[in-house]
Amino acid sequence: MPRVRRVPQRQCVACGQVRGKRDLVRVVRTAQGDVRIDPTGKLSGRGAYVCPEAACVDRALGEGRLARMLEREIPDDIARGLRGVTARAAPQRPPMVHRITLAQAAGRHGGSSGKQGTP
C-alpha cells in the first residue's frame, strides 16, 4: 500500500500559483513585528509566500503585495535578501559553444557558393 504524503500547499502572493511549501520562499512577520525570510518554514507568525523567481519577487515587492499580506513595510535588507534568493535559484545557462561552431560551419559553406549571379 503506497503511503500518500500530503505536501502542504501555499499560494504565491505575486502570481497566485499554488505550489508545495518547499517550492516557495516564506516571509514571516514575527510576533515581535519583525519581517524575516524564513528558509526553515518554522518561524511562527504571519507568513506570506513567493516563488523564488525574480519576476514574482519583483511583483511582490514592487506592487506592495508582500507588505499588504504581512501588514508591514518590507525592510530593505529583507527585500535584498529575497532578491538574493532568486539569484541563487536561477538556472545556469549552458555554454554557447555549439552555436558558435554551427555558425562558423554555416559561414564557411555560404561563402563558397555565394558567387553565383555576379558578372
Closest distance to Zn ion from the beta carbon of 99 (Å):
31
* Block residue for cell numbers 535588507: 77
Q: Which CB, 30 or 54, lies closer to Zn ion?
A: 54
Q: Which CB, 28 or 86, lies closer to Zn ion?
A: 86
**Three-state secondary structure readout of the chain:** CCCCCCCCEEEECCCCCEEEHHHCEEEEECCCCCEEECCCCCCCCEEEEECCCHHHHHHHHHCCHHHHHHCCCCCHHHHHHHHHHHHHHCCCCCCCHHHHHHHHHHHHHHHHHCCCCCC
d(CA 102, CA 41): 47
Closest distance to Zn ion from the beta carbon of 14 (Å):
5
Closest distance to Zn ion from the beta carbon of 89 (Å):
12
State the residues that interact with Zn ion by CB under 5 A.
Answer: 12, 14-15, 51, 56
Q: Which CB, 2 or 16, lies closer to Zn ion?
A: 16
Q: Which CB, 28 or 48, lies closer to Zn ion?
A: 48
Closest distance to Zn ion from the beta carbon of 22 (Å):
14
